[in-house]
Chain A
Amino acid sequence: NAGVTQTPKFRILKIGQSMTLQCTQDMNHNYMYWYRQDPGMGLKLIYYSVGAGITDKGEVPNGYNVSRSTTEDFPLRLELAAPSQTSVYFCASSDSTGPSYNEQFFGPGTRLTVL
């Protein structure tokens, strides 16, 4: 299993540009999450999903959108990038059943800089 994969690893955007951060998991997890982590800070939840077709806002959703058309994929869309969105973005997934119920597995992260 590859676990949770994210692309790209690094990206530099200009103010006002848009991009999509990709996230895929091959563990058949129902729950998926997007977090951002600013330097020296904890993880802030942006959006989450309990299954295909269902998404909901977390603590800091402004400036972002998500979709969940399949169990495996959970892309995060940034529209009109702003310097405040400079951060490291982590995608995570967790199982809704079984012995590792709710243990979150994280992707390697995308380091985004908006200039």
Chain B
Amino acid sequence: GQNIDQPTEMTATEGAIVQINCTYQTSGFNGLFWYQQHAGEAPTFLSYNVLDGLEEKGRFSSFLSRSKGYSYLLLKELQMKDSASYLCAVWPSNDYKLSFGAGTTVTVRA
């Protein structure tokens, strides 16, 4: 299986930057997804990394290091609506099922 580790909770101020780390151990690796889940709602896709490096999408960026088994999601210029849980999901090789981390709850304070 895959061991996926991400912090349980993070708190930040509106306008600030927060970095959510995700480490994983897997015997084979295709890529890594980040999902956002607002309370009481379904997860929605944020980003997908397959190669090493940074992928930027507006205020959100995601980084991957395959050799280190490490990814992070960077949220810039935080807004109140960014308060949500952020799920890291690993796509192992030789499979199509994703393994999800437990999620990081981000609270944005005014």
Question: Given A42, A50, A94, A108, which contacts B100 in the complex, CB threshold below 8 Å?
Answer: A42
A42 contacts B102, C-beta separation under 8 Å: yes
Contact-residue size bin, chain B (C-beta under 8 Å from the other chain): 10 to 19
- Verify B96–A94 contact, CB threshold 8 A: yes
Report whether A106 and B44 are in contact in the complex, using a CB–CB cutoff of 8 Å.
yes
Shortest Cβ gap from B43 to chain A (Å): 5
Interface residues of B in 42-88 (CB under 8 A from A): 42-45, 48, 87
Tell me which residues from 28 to 43 in chain B have a Cβ below 8 Å from any Cβ of chain A: 30-31, 33, 41-43
> In the complex, are the beta carbons of A102 and B42 less than 8 A apart?
no
Q: Tell me which of B30, B31, B91, B103 contacts A42 (CB under 8 A).
A: B103
A104 CB–B CB distance under 8 Å: yes
Contacts of B16 in A (CB 8 A): none
Residues of A participating in the B interface, judged by any CB pair closer than 8 Å: 31, 33, 41-43, 45, 48, 50, 58, 90, 94, 96, 102-109
